[in-house]
Amino acid sequence: MKRLCLITLVAVALPAFADRLPLPADTPASFKTECGSCHLAYPPALLGAADWRRVMATLDKHFASDATVDTVQKQEISAFLEKHAGKSGTAPNVAGEPPRISKTARFVRKHDEIPARFWRDPRIKSAANCEACHTHAAAGRFSEHDIAIPELRE
C-alpha cells in the first residue's frame, strides 16, 4: 500500500519536474479566445484557486487593460480555472496583488538565473510573453532545453 502511494506520488509529481503543463482536455474555447488573444492561454495550474478568483473578479482592471467577458463566459472560465488550479505546494498562495504568475515561488525559482536585462529585451518584452523564450509554450512545454534566445541557452 505504501509503495502504491509512492508510485502514485511520483507519477503525479513527474509532469511538474518535466516542465510539461499542457492545457487540460476540457479547456473551454472561451478561455483560449478571451484569455489567449492578448497573452498565452496560461496553464491554470500556475496559480491557486483563490488567485484565479481574484483575477476573475477584477477583469475590468486586468493589468491596466479592460478584459471584461460576458457573464456566461465568466462562469465557464472561472469554473475551469478553479477546477484545474494549482494546489498549495505547486502554486503558492501568495502571488502578489493582483496575482501575478511571475511572482509565484515556482516561477521565481525557475527563472532566478535570468539577468534583469533580458526581461527588458525587445524580443521578450515582458514576463507575460512565455513564448518569446519557451518556443513550445503554447503546447505546454516549458523545458529549458529548447529556449529560443541563444544567449540564455547555456
Contact positions vs another protein (CB under 8 A): 37-40, 63-67, 124-126, 128-129, 131-132
Q: How far is the CB of 48 from another protein (least distance, A)?
A: 22
Give me the residue label for grid cell 508510485: 7
Question: DSSP assignment, residue 58?
Answer: T
| Integer angstrom CA distances of residue 53 from 109, 113, 132, 153 | 24, 31, 27, 36
Residue 110 corresponds to which cell in the numbers above?
Answer: 525557475
Angle in degrees, CA 84, 69, 36, rounded to 5: 55
Q: In whole angstroms, give the CA distance from residue 134 to residue 128.
A: 11
CB of 118 vs another protein, minimal distance in Å: 12
Find the largest Cα–Cα distance for the chain: 53
Intra-chain end-to-end CA distance of the chain, in Å: 43
Identify the three-state secondary structure at position 88: strand
